Structure 1
Amino acid sequence: MAFGPASRLGVALFEETDPVELVPGRSEEEVEVVIKATYRQVLGNAYVMESERLVVPESQLKRGEISVREFVRQVAKSDLYRSRFFTSCARYRSIELNFKHLLGRAPDSYDEMKAHSAILDNGDFDAEIDSYIDSDEYQAAYGEFIVPYIRGYKTRNGQSMVQFTHMFQLLRGASSSDLKGNLAGIRPRLNSLVIQNTATPVIPPSGASDGWSFQNPSLSSRTRLGSGAGEGGKVYRIEVTGYRSGAVNRISKFRRSNQVFLVSYEQLSQEYQRIHKMGGVIASVTAVN
């Protein structure tokens, strides 16, 4: 089952769209649908020009010489995929995208990411791709003839809430692209979160709310209040989403996706009131020391 109203989390299209499968006796038009769905999933919803399409593997699929799984393998091993999601990305960004594109989910643990990093230590990009497509998980989820699809936003056996929230760091709606649209760029989204086994707020993408979207902030925020002050030197880190300035003109009020405030224990109540008055939503409160 999906967590919460799908329309508010930006995954409604995934909920409403059936998996794309290549069935016996398919028409040429139906095969073309499979091909386009494969490009869309494996290439992270990024635009593919006609000149970039893999003509030979497409022809093999149309003639029934290869399965959908083998076509997925060819796309994932192509120079097109390699240049977009491997050579131009940090290693752990590449790995987390491989999980998303080929298994439809986020990595479950740091050990899982390290195992794939070890494959890349040997300089074997093809073996890294094969490790997903030849896995029992891939076979159970997609088999030979279903195009991989996003499924990590659904709860499943053995999945913790931490793992579930990490999927939304990689998925910001059905129209988002893995090449564009995120301030983190080519840097990993999950590296520190997976290492520390830390959950993150599940925040609607900007199109599903009142104009703001979540971006994981740095602890070194420019805004620090009462750092080192208070009883026993205790300081609390308040993460705020949807924060806006106190401008009088409501039309011109700016919004920041995220801010972090460091305050003493004595200031917590006062700071809560100020944040809510300014239209912010408190996503988390954690002790710093």
Structure 2
Amino acid sequence: MKIAVMGAGAVGCYYGAMLARAGHEVVLIGRPQHVEAIERDGLRLQAQQFDERIDPSQLTASVDPAAASGAQLVLFCVKSPDTESAGAAIGPHLAADTLVLTLQNGVDNAERLRGVIAQEVAAAVVYVATEMAGPGHVLHHGRGELVIEPSTRSDALARTFAAAAIPTEVSANVRGALWAKLILNCAYNVLSAISQLPYGRLVASAGVRASIRDIVAECTAVAQADGVSLPPDLELAVRRIAETMPGQYSSTAQDVARGKPSEIDHLNGFVVKRGEALGVATPANRLLHTLVKLIEDKASGAI
């Protein structure tokens, strides 16, 4: 299968590399510094069980969305604020029967993407701890499973991913799974960003577990008011993040450390907006959203 990865950051590079190792034709569409390194040296995947360089003959890279032409599957991995613009850029180059799978934070990306491209779009929930350790070098800290929305090819995709050592579940309640992932991100991302601590050290600090409980309670109240069916094991899932990814810094923490805009408007900010619309108070999430926006504005020189 030819597979294109639109937005080849840490998540996109990890899944692209795993699929390339399984024999698929993969093209990564990303930023110039990563593309240049991959074209020159291949992509280094430093995983927990192996450290391997994926040769350019197995995996190619480009800055041009047109490189996705001929792809049967697109892994759509851009940051949430870029969903519409990236969709508009890649859509004209895709065949009518290309399936686009969104591997993004937030709960409404698939719906937003359907508004700008004609191809079939399916949502996926991603549970993986990765970071770009340098140009053309992805570091895998743990996990890697996907929960995907039913589509015309979901069962076949699940088998394809499983054969590439990517555990995959097809779920009829992807909305609930997306909200559960959103709640996990709201609980951990900002606290990791402000403290610049990985999850394991973060939860060992005084007051953090209680703060996480407050954040989760607000998010859960908003989800329930919105008619979302959350998984019954959410409390366990919240605890497991720190247990299974103790060395991971949140994506928000990585963005803040690099002085880049984060996805905070689509995480805690989204919960605040839905809470306002539904009449649910979200003071903890509002404060966290405000703090990250202040950090971003200071870094950009806006204040």
TM-score with structure 2 setting the length: 0.23
Say which structure, 1 or 2, has more relative contact order (CA 8 Å, 6+ apart): 1
Greater per-residue helix proportion: 2
Greater per-residue strand proportion: 2
